[in-house]
Structure 1
Amino acid sequence: MIDCLTFTTPARRLLARLYLGSDPSIGWWQHYPRVGSRRANHATQIIRETSRSLEDTLQGDISQVSIWGRALAASEVRGAASCEDPARGSVFSSDSAEFEEFGVEVRAVDVQDLCRPKVEFIVLPEEVSLDSSLMLCRRLNATVAVPASPLENQLLLDEILPFKDVCDATGHWKAWLGITDAQEEGTWRALHSNQEVNYSNFPCNGAGGSAVLNCAAVKTDGFWAFQECSVKRCTACRLHRLRSLRLRGLCFDEPLEAQFRLAGYLGGRPLFRGFTNKVILWDKAAERWTLVNAGTNATVMSCQSVPIELYPLGKHKWEMAKDMCGNKAGDTILASLSACTPDQFMCNVGDCIQMHQRCNYRFDCDDHSDEINCSVVGALDKVQRAMPPKDSLGGVLLVTPAVTINIISEVDDINMAITLEFMFSLAWNDNRLKFKHLTSAPRGTVLAKGDSEKIWLPKYQVTNVVAGNLLSLTESFTVRSAAGATAPGFNDVDMDLTYPGASNRVTMTRRYSAKTTCHFDLYAYPFDVQTCGVRIHLPPEHEDSVHFSLSQGTVNYTGPHELATFNVEKVQFAPTSDEHQLTAEFTLRRRQGVVLLSTFLPSALLLAVSWATLFVKLEALNVRAVMSLTTLLVLYTLFANMSRSLPTAASIKLIDIWFFFIIFLLFANIMIHIFIDNESLTQVRVNKIVVKPFSEARPLMTASPRQKALRFLAVYRLLVLPVAVVLFNAAFWAAVFWQL
């Protein structure tokens, strides 16, 4: 409840304090230069600043208007707001003053009744099914009547009886009740809440029901009767005092002027009374719903497309009867009447759904109108679509790049190329755009093809593809936020929220399959580490208007990190990237396990075999020669096969040095086998005997060629060759680790 307590100041201005509820601390002061009409809705008193005019009308219940010559104490405010005190003013009190009364009803009620909820029912005198009754009451921001006490049941009956000759004229069942026992026979529940009802007025305590009579209607004697849900009855809706309908499409100055509610009848039809001086009624002569100025009794506009039984709920075309809101008499405008609040969407038939249900690829409106006109982007003109937008300060537009390498399917060492799939995204703000139907879900709002054609799109080029091997797989455009929403005005028929482009980024994502070039440095093969990537350039026309924002950009790799012959490491923007071009690079470290087993180990074993031939008997020349030549041929074959798996290059690699060294050793072993004097190996050892005195005589021995050969082989195979192998390996592996 709001109590407005007023008094006059010396400046001849009205000073009013408005109190909300019974708490005297919740209030505010307001000056009014003059006092116009006083309007109150039920037990609410509202003083509004307005000029005195014949068009000003009052709707509602004025419970008390009082004026004091002093400020009120907190206890007095609390007593008036809680209906404990009639609050009669010392200067003026409406319950004791004399008024000229016309067109009003005067009733005397207890003060406490002013704070009790008032029950109101309205009858819609058309026979419809229960489902239709539920639908009509819902669209009227009401519920199908369910009396909760004998008093409410009598109030409902009093509302129905004037229509007894219209609703089922030949029967006793007049209007639907909003209850059912379909869930459990004999247990009646309210349809709008699914709660079990505590009051019922079935004769004989509800005996005589059946499994097919799951609905109920009120009779002319006030008793309730079991009904089949498929029959037709009139509709009785329970109105909620604080709920109203809103008329959109005109040019009201204040939201209050656009609010209407069902109140009373005219010619047996319900009236939609405005909170000011407008009324929507059924014009029986013209057979159309009409908006009338109650102060002048002049028609403002009328709607002929709505039949009498459907009521002017939802969106309809109305014909103007007078010049108003920039429209001429005879013009047709689109107007709507519904209970929808600014944060809801109105279906064309008048139902209300939550805004997140709008354009969500599911039909939530009975007429499917929630999935119509789902364009997200307000169109730019042709020139704007060709021109890049400015940033918020009017400078160069910064686009945020994001590169996601999905999979590396092939690493071609010979042709120095990488086959991969990647996604490239650019995100930017266009403050020229207006969006609708955005969602705050993580996936964002996907723009359809028609929407993407309405906006400016940045251009770019992937510059390191092999012979144009760039295939575009998919393309998508999304808006991943829903910020800065602007609610529709209270006169707007279009109830979609509007989002500014300055607060919501457009993201363009394209997925590619490409074969890109990569310079392989194979000196350290097979212990090499290669750096490859995808190079993307902005075109020259974007040089002064669009730049990459690398500080906000991201690079990711989502594929397997262990490939057949490489491991993927260090995915990042290359240091050479700048505002005009970027490179999303990744490091490929060769997996040495396979190469060690297929190259180094076999070559080492062949060297060992060749070394072993140095221990074969000198007489077995054929064995030594065949084994040595065979190891050399096998090693050369291994070297040739390895060379064919690498790109042709003039530079020497570490693996080449390895093979050259082993080949040289094998060749040296063969030469040693051949150039040992084979003939000398067959000579017999000769002892020279010189005749001397007996005491001085001794045999003199000289080394034979065989002994010399054996001594040479021993030194070579046990010292020279092992030392050479050890020194070479020390130098070789030191170079390898330095490269690593």
Structure 2
Amino acid sequence: MLPMVRFQESGPATTDSMLVYTGTLSQMAQATFCFRLRIQQSRSINTIFSYALPDDGDEIHLSVNYADQTLEFVCCDGHWEQEIKMQVNLRDWLNVCLAIDLAGLKWKLVRNGEVTEGSVNISSSSLIRIRPGGSLILGQDQDSVLGGFNEFESLSGRLVDVRLYDLLLTADQMISFTSCQDVRAENSPIVSLENAQEDFEVRNVSLLAIRNQDTCIRNRNFDLVFPELRDFDTAELLCGIVGGTLKIPTGPNDNWMLFNLSLPYAEACGDGYAETLWLGVKGDVVRQQWLSYEEKNPITWTKFDNANGLPIKSPDVCMAFIGSKKTVEEQYGLWVPSDCNLEMCPACHFDKVVIIRMRGLCRQSEFDRDYFLTHDQDSLSFTGVFYSEIVKNPPNGSIVDSDYGYWTLRRHDKPHVMAYLPMNSPIHYPTGLNTWQVTNDVCGKDRVTLMMTSCTDYTFSCSDGTCINLKQRCDMEADCPDGTDEVECKFLTIPKGYDSFNPPSRPDRSQPIKVYLFIKILSMRKVDLSNFQFTCELEIQLRWTDGRLKYHHLNYAETLNIVDEKDMPWIPMLEFLGDGDTTSSVTEQRKSLRVRRLSDPLPDNDENIFEDELFDGKKNSLIWLRKLTVTTSCQFDLEAFPFDTQSCSMSVLLSGITKEYVILVPDEKGVSFVGQRKLLEYRLVSEIMEKQDEGNYSGQAVRLVFQNMSNFYVTSTYIPTFVIVIIGYTVFFFPIWNFNERVMVGLTGLLVEATFFSQVSASIPHTAYLKLVDIWFVYCIVILFLVVVALVIIHWIQEESTVSKVRPVAQKGTPLLLETDVRAIRKSRAKRFNYGCRITFPLLTLIFFLGYGLGASLM
């Protein structure tokens, strides 16, 4: 058995509970401090050792800080101050050894068998030592010899097997101590609790004994009975709200311990039967198995009186526990199938001490914010981590008007600071959302709505105290039983003094605020060549940050983070311009302001009743989305029509604020096209974004390149008209004497070409300059005209050879020619001319094609 001292385990913090060492310490260059500690209720500083000299109240100060999770050590007139990170749990045994080497300025800490070590730099150049002749106290911090006590720096808990050595224990020795094994040192400790009555002056503490192995039990689970009648579902809900589960015994010893725990509540929890408690077991009528209510798995151990509780006859059958001696001994602790709608008391199981947080208190409130369930005062209560306590009281109309009693929240050390909660039913606990009547708290309010919740980090507390994942907050689906998670889902609340007409302040005065622009072209509705304009469907996205704002409970899916139109912050205003800075026509289809989550939330603020995550406006972006129909001008150049490529520019300009303060920059590549690139006549080839400021205003321009899909004109215009030219050309292969048929074909082709030209000209834009298609028609008409002219010439040559009589023709040195010979000569000349046309016209066409193609490629 080990000596154990109990310090201030109940009641307010005091300065008169301590052990005062009656001996004295010698000078020490090395020291090892070992102790076993179980904190009952934390103080600001939980002091273990305090050694003071007349000129130094902290010659040795060794304490545990629960709030900071540290071991704090100070010595040697303040030359050495050390804070060592260490996990500290309330009502859990903490076995610690700290060895300090003042010469080497090294330390070694062993906590529950885990070793940590380090060194320290000090400003003093002389050797430091723990000086002799002071006063040593356990459980209180002294600021002067046997004085200067502060109740907030005292100890509430159990201190076991305290040892102080004037040497360095080895790591193995310290591990043995903190693992509850024998410690074999060359020397005995200079201070210990072996003879506490002789070596210490005992002041308001209890001296007891405890088994060595009991201080090394790592299992922190425990059970509590809530002595109010509830049906099964309400019992299971209560256990979950306070951070536990309905108890399921796992073996005979566990079952017997539950039976002994239930005996004091047998009268309050009975319902005319021997069954008093609900267990966390429910029957599955389909599978004919008993399942754990939480995990839905078959249980591995039961205690039925017969037949393992089978058959299960109803889906509403739950498991009750006989926790009363008002039955035969053979039935003690038996499990009995019972109707789930019956009322019994819940037995809740806890794997560890569960911290229940109180949210909604102002920052300066004198009440504790963290509590845990205890049964220290023969009744269930909520004990504050530091100084407060919540206890249940019977009805008292002079204090609180309630037929069922009331809960009192009070500080032990400041009894005038109180809060009251009237009970609205016999089973009303202060968990969840409740309105308290407060007196004398520094917050200054007499009615305060507070939330008591066992929900851990990244969870949300519903108003009844149940917990859901924080990601389910404001996701447009009610997950809390009362829908609390979808209440007050404003993602943005405009703070006081916010000016929505001015942009955010520049973090660096020399750098303007950047507004990122991204344009998604959804479709090209129309390219209107006649009116020199085009119409497109756009989705404009602007992205920027505003450090003046804070956002609430953002989702990763930004479509859920839509800002209410009533809470609009500063939004950049845009102006759309076409070629030549002409004004565009803009029709807005829809708009929305969203918030894009890019960072983790800020630290939780428990002054807020609910766990609404708060996000910094500097790290999360506002997204302004607008769907627009824009009609803008474009200076089309149609000289190469229908083999033309058009380049159109649509400018987006920031209006109302100069580029000294805000600039537009592309977001990634700035523009994308997601629609059908093939239009009626043109195909969108490319789209790029380029900087295009207008005076002192920042802007970006989207340049669109369209390419004429000329295949249509080739098949519907060029090929038919060229076929007509070929037909006209074929007349040179007709008999040259058949002038009527030849000239009719040529004239018909010429008329058809003229008709084609008229029809095509009516369907394409009219320009004062010739287009390629016009040149083509001019060529076709001219070539056919030349064909007709050539036919007439051929006919004239041939007809001149026909005469009515024979006349001799004399030429000097030549014989006389008869008229028949002249006809033959004329006919021969007509044939040669006709043959020359067969060759000349294709050559002219070839030369035209070469020139036409070269001109088209250069345009």
Q: Which of the five TM-score ranges fits, normalised by the shorter chain?
A: 0.7 to 0.9
The aligned counterpart of 2:486 is: 371
- State the secondary structure of the residue aligned to 2:269: coil
Q: CA shift at 1:588, angstroms?
A: 0.7
- State the secondary structure of the residue aligned to 1:238: strand
Q: Deviations over 1:574-626 (max 9, x none)?
A: 46467622221211111121111111111111111111123333443322232
Is 1:327 the counterpart of 2:447? The answer is no
Residues 260-659 of structure 1: pairs in structure 2 closer than 5 A: 260-264=371-375, 269-284=379-394, 285=396, 286=400, 287-295=405-413, 297-298=415-416, 300-304=418-422, 307-324=425-442, 326-327=443-444, 331-381=446-496, 384-394=499-509, 395-441=511-557, 443=558, 445-450=560-565, 453-464=567-578, 469-550=585-666, 552=668, 554-574=670-690, 576=692, 580-659=698-777
- State the secondary structure of the residue aligned to 1:250: coil
Q: Evaluate the alpha carbon distance shift between residue 570 and residue 199 of structure 1 in structure 2; reply closer, same or farther with a 3 A threshold.
A: same
CA distance in 2, matches of 1:575, 1:118: 66
- State the secondary structure of the residue aligned to 1:460: strand
The aligned counterpart of 2:852 is: 732
**2:757 counterpart letter in structure 1:** F
Q: CA shift at 1:215, angstroms?
A: 1.4
CA distance in 2, matches of 1:474, 1:87: 81
2:94 to 16, 20, 44: 44
CA distance in 2, matches of 1:507, 1:291: 46
Which deviates the most, 101-110 or 162-171?
Answer: 101-110
Q: Which has the higher strand share?
A: 2
Is 1:246 the counterpart of 2:361? The answer is no
Q: Deviations over 1:438-463 (max 9, x none)?
A: 1234x465323346x33111101123
The aligned counterpart of 2:196 is: 97
- State the secondary structure of the residue aligned to 2:604: coil
Q: CA shift at 1:658, angstroms?
A: 1.6
**1:176 counterpart letter in structure 2:** W
**2:60 counterpart letter in structure 1:** L
The aligned counterpart of 1:23 is: none
Q: CA shift at 1:687, angstroms?
A: 8.9
CA distance in 1, matches of 2:155, 2:239: 26
Answer whether contact 1:419 1:516 (CA < 8 A) is retained: yes
CA distance in 1, matches of 2:208, 2:271: 34
CA distance in 2, matches of 1:103, 1:179: 44
Answer whether contact 2:732 2:835 (CA < 8 A) is retained: no
Q: Deviations over 1:461-514 (max 9, x none)?
A: 123399964221121222222315212235543422211111111110101123
Q: CA shift at 1:738, angstroms?
A: 2.5
Q: Evaluate the alpha carbon distance shift between residue 348 and residue 731 of structure 1 in structure 2; reply closer, same or farther with a 3 A threshold.
A: same
Q: CA shift at 1:515, angstroms?
A: 2.4
Answer whether contact 1:43 1:63 (CA < 8 A) is retained: no
CA distance in 2, matches of 1:341, 1:82: 30
Answer whether contact 1:130 1:176 (CA < 8 A) is retained: yes
Which deviates the most, 562-571 or 540-549?
Answer: 540-549
Q: Evaluate the alpha carbon distance shift between residue 318 and residue 389 of structure 1 in structure 2; reply closer, same or farther with a 3 A threshold.
A: same
Q: CA shift at 1:530, angstroms?
A: 0.6
Which deviates the most, 503-512 or 547-556?
Answer: 547-556
Which deviates the most, 413-422 or 586-595?
Answer: 413-422
CA distance in 2, matches of 1:255, 1:191: 40
Identity of aligned residues (%): 21
Aligned length: 721
Q: Evaluate the alpha carbon distance shift between residue 373 and residue 383 of structure 1 in structure 2; reply closer, same or farther with a 3 A threshold.
A: closer
Answer whether contact 1:631 1:666 (CA < 8 A) is retained: yes
Q: Evaluate the alpha carbon distance shift between residue 179 and residue 383 of structure 1 in structure 2; reply closer, same or farther with a 3 A threshold.
A: closer
Answer whether contact 1:7 1:69 (CA < 8 A) is retained: no
Scaled by the length of structure 2, the TM-score of the pair is: 0.76
Q: Evaluate the alpha carbon distance shift between residue 351 and residue 63 of structure 1 in structure 2; reply closer, same or farther with a 3 A threshold.
A: farther
Which deviates the most, 218-227 or 290-299?
Answer: 290-299
Answer whether contact 1:461 1:539 (CA < 8 A) is retained: yes
The aligned counterpart of 2:104 is: none
The aligned counterpart of 1:669 is: 787
Is 1:80 the counterpart of 2:181? The answer is no
1:14 to 60, 63, 69: 60
Residues 207-218 of structure 1: pairs in structure 2 closer than 5 A: 207-212=309-314, 214-218=317-321
Which deviates the most, 458-467 or 664-673?
Answer: 458-467
**1:261 counterpart letter in structure 2:** F
CA distance in 2, matches of 1:208, 1:421: 69
Is 1:198 the counterpart of 2:295? The answer is no
- State the secondary structure of the residue aligned to 2:224: strand
CA distance in 1, matches of 2:373, 2:815: 153
Q: Evaluate the alpha carbon distance shift between residue 139 and residue 95 of structure 1 in structure 2; reply closer, same or farther with a 3 A threshold.
A: farther
Answer whether contact 2:365 2:441 (CA < 8 A) is retained: no
**1:229 counterpart letter in structure 2:** C
Scaled by the length of structure 1, the TM-score of the pair is: 0.88
The aligned counterpart of 2:17 is: none
Q: Evaluate the alpha carbon distance shift between residue 526 and residue 208 of structure 1 in structure 2; reply closer, same or farther with a 3 A threshold.
A: closer
Answer whether contact 1:614 1:713 (CA < 8 A) is retained: no
